[in-house]
Structure 1
Amino acid sequence: MSLDLAPELQVSALALPDSDFVLAEADRITASDLVPLVRAIDAEGLYPEAVMRSYGAAGAFQRHLPAPGGALDLDTTIAAMARAGRECLSTAFCMWCQSALGWYIFNSDNTALQDSLGAQVATGAVLGGTGLSNPMKTLFGIEQMKLKATPVEGGYTLRGTLPWVSNINEDAWFAVISEIPEGPRAGERVMMVLHGRGDGVKLVSNDHFVALEGTRTYGVQCRDAFVPEAHVIADPINAYVPKIRAGFILLQSGMAFGMIEGCIALMEQVRGPLGHVNQHLPDQPEHFREKLDALKAEVSALCKTPYDTSDAYFIRVIKARLAAGDLSVAAAHNAMLHQGARGYVTHGAAQRRLRESYFVAIVTPATKQLRKMLADLGATA
Structure 2
Amino acid sequence: MTGGARAIELPAALADWLATHADRLDTTQELAAEVVPRLAGAGLFAIGVPAALGGSGGDVRDAIEAIAAVAERSLTASFVFWGHRTFIEYVLQSPNAKLRERWLAPLLSGEIAGATGLSNAMKFLGGIEALQITATPAGDGWQLDGGLAWITNLRKEGFVAAAAVTSAAGAPPAVIAFASAAAGVVRSGDLDLLALRSSNTAAVELQGVRIDEADVITHDALAWLPAVRPAFLGMQCGMSVGLARASLAAAHRLCTATRSGLLGRVEALQGELARAVEQMQAGVQDGRFKTAAAPLFRLRISLAEIVQQAVMLELQGSGGRAYLMNHDRNFARRWREAAFIPIVTPSLTQLQLALQKQAAAAGAA
Matches of 1:234 and 1:76 in 2, distance apart? 25
Could you say if the C-alpha distance between residues 30 and 336 of structure 1 is closer, same or farther in structure 2, counting changes exceeding 3 Å?
farther
Q: How does 1:300-315 map to 2 (within 5 A)?
A: 300-306=281-287, 309-311=290-292, 314-315=293-294
Q: Name the SS of the counterpart of 1:223 in structure 2.
A: strand
Q: Name the SS of the counterpart of 2:277 in structure 1.
A: helix
Hey, what does 1:378 align to over in structure 2? Answer: 359
Q: How does 1:225-304 map to 2 (within 5 A)?
A: 225-271=209-255, 274-275=258-259, 279=261, 281=262, 284-304=265-285
Q: Name the SS of the counterpart of 1:163 in structure 2.
A: strand
Shift of 1:47: 3.5
Q: Which runs of 5+ in 1 are unaligned?
A: 1-18
Establish whether residue 40 from structure 1 lines up as the match of residue 15 from structure 2.
no
Q: Name the SS of the counterpart of 1:142 in structure 2.
A: coil
Give CA deviations for 1:18-38 in whole Å, capped at 9, x if unaligned. Answer: x86x933x2524422211111
Pairs aligned (count): 353
Matches of 2:242 and 2:333 in 1, distance apart? 14
Shift of 1:154: 2.3
Hey, what does 1:178 align to over in structure 2? Answer: 165
Give CA deviations for 1:96-146 in whole Å, capped at 9, x if unaligned. Answer: 001100011110011121122022213333222111122211221222211
Q: Name the SS of the counterpart of 1:185 in structure 2.
A: coil
Shift of 1:341: 2.9
Could you say if the C-alpha distance between residues 284 and 169 of structure 1 is closer, same or farther in structure 2, counting changes exceeding 3 Å?
same
Q: Which runs of 5+ in 2 are unaligned?
A: none
What's the TM-score, normalizing by structure 1? 0.85
Hey, what does 1:209 align to over in structure 2? Answer: 193
Give CA deviations for 1:333-364 in whole Å, capped at 9, x if unaligned. Answer: 22222223332234622222121112121111
Match of 1:104 among 79, 82, 90: 90
Shift of 1:45: 2.7
Give CA deviations for 1:53-82 in whole Å, capped at 9, x if unaligned. Answer: 233244322333467345461221111111
Matches of 1:208 and 1:143 in 2, distance apart? 24
Hey, what does 1:337 align to over in structure 2? Answer: 316
Give CA deviations for 1:294-350 in whole Å, capped at 9, x if unaligned. Answer: 111111211213475323xx2222221111111112212222222233322346222
AA aligned to 1:108 is S
Hey, what does 2:332 align to over in structure 1? Answer: 351
Match of 1:135 among 99, 121, 127: 121
Q: Name the SS of the counterpart of 1:148 in structure 2.
A: strand
Hey, what does 1:320 align to over in structure 2? Answer: 299
Shift of 1:243: 1.4
Matches of 1:174 and 1:345 in 2, distance apart? 41
Hey, what does 1:5 align to over in structure 2? Answer: none
Give CA deviations for 1:227-261 in whole Å, capped at 9, x if unaligned. Answer: 22211111132221121111111111210111001
Matches of 1:201 and 1:179 in 2, distance apart? 18
Could you say if the C-alpha distance between residues 306 and 50 of structure 1 is closer, same or farther in structure 2, counting changes exceeding 3 Å?
farther
Shift of 1:192: 1.0
Which deviates more, 65-74 or 145-154? 65-74
Q: Is the 8 A contact 1:345 1:351 kept in 2?
A: no
Matches of 2:213 and 2:95 in 1, distance apart? 12
Which deviates more, 68-77 or 228-237? 68-77
Hey, what does 1:6 align to over in structure 2? Answer: none
Q: Is the 8 A contact 1:162 1:219 kept in 2?
A: yes
Q: Name the % identity.
A: 25
